[in-house]
Amino acid sequence: MTREGMWELQSYKLADYSVSHPCFICHGGNNFDAELCRHCMAPMALAHQAAQLKTPPRLIAAVGSAGAGKTVYLGMLTDMLSRENNDLQVLARGAFSVQIQQITMEALANCRFPDKTPSEPDHWNWLHSQIQSKRIKRPYELMMPDLAGDALLEEINHPNSYPVIHHFLSKASGIMLLVDAAELEQGSQVQDFFATKIVSYLCELESHAKTGWPNRPIAVILSKADQCDTCFLDPLEFARKYAPSLWRQVKERLKKYQFFATGVAGACATIYGLGGQEQIPLRVEPRGIVEPFSWLTHQISKKP
C-alpha cells in the first residue's frame, strides 16, 4: 500500500445540480436525477416526458372514497382501451403507465380485487398515455393518477395537506367522480356526503365561472352497479333517489356533467377470514366502462 495516489476530480457533475428542474404538477424545483418531486411526491418522469412535447399533457383525475372502485375501474379501463378493436384507444408512455393495468388484471384473474391504494403519494400509480380516436382531430397526451381515497378525504377536510392533490385538481381538465352505487342502495349516506364534499371542494378550489370547475366536465360514475341493476336503467334517476345531496349539488353548481353506471364484476361473494370479511369477484363482466371516459375525453378535446 502507498499513501500517494491520484483521484480524478469530477466537479463538472456539480453543474448538473445547479439547474433546477420544475415538477410538472406543482412546479417546485428539483435536482435533475430526482425520482420524485421533493415538494409533492409526483414522479419526475412526468416532467421529463412533458418537456419533450410541444403541447402540454392534459390531466384527468379519478376521485372517490376509499373502496369506491377507482383502481379497479382505471385498471379495467386502460386494459380495454389498449386493445386495437376500440374506436377510442390509449397508448402507454413509459413502463410505469402499465403498472395499474397489470396489477388489476392479475388480481381479477386470481378472483380477487387489487389491494387498497396506500395514502402515501410515493406509492401511487400514474398513467401517462396518448389518446387516439376517430372523433378527436389530433391525438393528445393525458396524465391520470390513482389517488388514494383516504388522502383525498384528508385534503378535502384540511386543504393543502396533500400538495399533489391540491395542485393536480387545480390543473385538471376533467374528473371522473366514482360513487359506490351498491352502498347507496343499501341506505348508507357516506357515499352521498363524500361525493358532495368533493364537488363543493372543487368549486371552491377553482371557482371562476368560465375557467373553473363550474364549467369543467365531471363524469359522475355510479360504480359497482352490477350489484344493483336498477342503476343501469336510469343512472340520473338512481342518483336523484339515493344521493339527493350530490344530485342537487351537481345540478346547481355544474354546467357540464353526466351520470353513468358501471360494473366490472358480474357477481361477487363475501368470504370471512382472519383479516375480517372480504369481497371477491366470482367472474369478470365489464359493463359501461368506456362510456364515461369517452364522454369526458370528447368534452376535453373541444377545448383549444
- Tens of pLDDT along 201-218? 999 999 999 999 999 999
Model pTM greater than 0.75?
yes
Does the residue 268 lie in any domain?
yes
Domain total of the chain: 2
**Quick one: 68 exposed, middle or buried, by C-beta within 10 A (0-12, 13-18, 19+)?**
buried
* Residue 9 domain-assigned (yes or no): no
Query: Which residue segment(s) compose the domain that 138 sits in?
Result: 57-302
Residue 238 has pLDDT above 60, yes or no: yes
The answer on pLDDT for 1 being more than 60 is no
Asked if residue 64 has pLDDT above 70, the reply is: yes
Residues 203 and 78 in one domain: yes
Does residue 140 sit in the same domain as residue 162?
A: yes
**Within-domain flag for 7:** no
Same domain, 119 and 188: yes
Instruction: State the pLDDT at residue 28.
Output: 94
State residue 303's pLDDT score.
Answer: 61
94 and 210 together in one domain:
yes
Q: Range with the lowest mean pLDDT among 17-21, 153-157, 198-202?
A: 17-21
**Residue of higher predicted confidence among 133 and 123:** 123
Give the three cell numbers for residue 293: 371516459
Note whether 39 and 110 are same-domain residues: no
35 shares its domain with 70: no
69 and 127, same domain (yes or no): yes
Q: Provide the CATH number for the domain around residue 190.
A: 3.40.50.300
Do both 75 and 106 map to the same domain? yes
Judged against a pLDDT cut of 70, whether residue 30 lies above it is answered with yes
User: Is residue 4 domain-resident?
Assistant: no
Question: Is the pLDDT higher at 230 or at 16?
Answer: 230
- At how many degrees (to 10) do helices 70-81 and 290-301 cross? 80
